[in-house]
Structure 1
Amino acid sequence: MNLSKFNKKPLEQRADIIVRHGVYLAVRYRSQFVIRLYCVGPYFAEVWYEPRRDRFVLVRILNEAVGLKPYLEMVDISEVLPAA
């Protein structure tokens, strides 16, 4: 995916691309928003949706690990940790 071309597309098209071609990973909730995390190629992307108004409000590519921080508490890696 060419990130420059992707970012120039309208919000609805970007959301559609992520939802259709991305691999869904997690969901979190913030205020009135449902925020879904996807993996698309080498990128992670968030799609912010407002159910009350039935509309997408934000689609963003997470370029830094800081953007993934809210999802880290959701991941259980206990099965892959070495036994103590």
Structure 2
Amino acid sequence: MTKLTQRKVEFEWGDKQEAAFQLLKQKLYSALILALPDGSEDFIVYCGASNKGLGAVLMQRENVILYASRQLKIHEKNYTT
């Protein structure tokens, strides 16, 4: 679906895009509830990178505080991981 938001790409909504949208809605509905950070607890950061994007999770014990992810820009794909 991210290709739909890129420049100079014709907007096309077909079965593939609808299926991706429905899957995204389902994942958002079933996502775990985020917790508020507790200043007295240690933080844990999990992060990962691939040739397509970056992702991270900020946690305290078993509680998720924050999810973050994004696709890499064209020039960023040349960076080392």
| Higher-Rg member (1/2) | 2
More helix by share: 1
Length-normalised TM-score, structure 2: 0.35
Length-normalised TM-score, structure 1: 0.34
